[in-house]
Amino acid sequence: MRLSVVMPVYDVAQWLPECLASVEKQDFHDWELIVVDDGSPDDSVKIVERWAKRRQVKGLVRIVRQDNAGLGAARNTGLGLVQAPLVAFLDSDDVLPVGSWSRLVRAAEQGESEIVIGRADRWDGVRQWTTPLMKRNHQTELRGVTISSHPLLLADVFAWNKLYRSSVWQNLRFPEEIRYEDQPAITAALLAARSIDVLTEPVYLWRSRPDSITT
């Protein structure tokens, strides 16, 4: 197994089928999807269970349950179960473009970088657009850079448009019980990385939701 993907689930029954459908359409199949049920009050976990039984892709789906503790804690639970040498994160209301995982894994395996960053576009279910930050950071493909040479990469503190070697998370976890838990953890990961690759292609569609704290 080459890739572990951590996906927390909480109250996303409305959006989850689209997310899972995008996983099913990936052309890279050597993965495990670690689904962390963060005490979801709706049918989200049942949706995952039904999908896992009928899906047509080759991948391992593992479901773990915990009392509601927030996104940071759920991601940390998933990180504790990672078995593959490469790690990615997926929020269960978002969507992956076709070929996302294969692009990221190919870049990681062709080089020695600890983090591979792909472009994340916004998406509202119909329209897809690129923010100024993503346009600026992903104009040119980069290989083997660092934050010292490219400090503007620090403006991108999202967890989910990146692929990490599992060693990055050996002594690093997300803060718990706070909002915007990505920022301190991803900043630390980027600063510590000895080598970073940057791709120009979109590898993630971040759903624009009116009820989201980050919309």
pLDDT average per 10 residues of sequence, the chain (215 residues): 97 97 95 98 96 80 97 98 98 98 98 98 94 98 98 98 98 94 97 98 91 43
Q: Which amino acid is at 108?
A: A
| pLDDT for position 191 | 98
Residue 141 lies in a domain: yes
Range of the domain at 189: 3-207
| pLDDT for position 32 | 97
The pLDDT tens digits of the residues spanning 122-160 come to 999 899 999 999 999 999 999 999 999 999 999 999 999
Residue 189 lies in a domain: yes
In this structure, the dihedral spanned by the alpha carbons of residues 32, 36, 40 and 44, taken in order and rounded to 10 degrees, is 0
Residue 8 lies in a domain: yes
From 178, 212, 157, 210, select the one nearest 70 (Cα to Cα).
178
| pLDDT for position 214 | 38
Domain of residue 15, CATH code: 3.90.550.10
Are 86 and 56 spatial neighbours (Cβ–Cβ below 8 Å)? no
Q: State the total domains in the chain.
A: 1
| pLDDT for position 211 | 56
Residue 104 lies in a domain: yes
Residue 97 lies in a domain: yes
Residue 215 lies in a domain: no
| pLDDT for position 213 | 36
Residue 34 lies in a domain: yes
What is the distance, to the nearest Å, from the Cα of residue 118 to the centroid of all Cα atoms in its chain? 10
Three-state secondary structure call for residue 119 = strand
| pLDDT for position 55 | 67
The pLDDT tens digits of the residues spanning 89-107 come to 999 999 999 999 999 999 9
| pLDDT for position 200 | 98
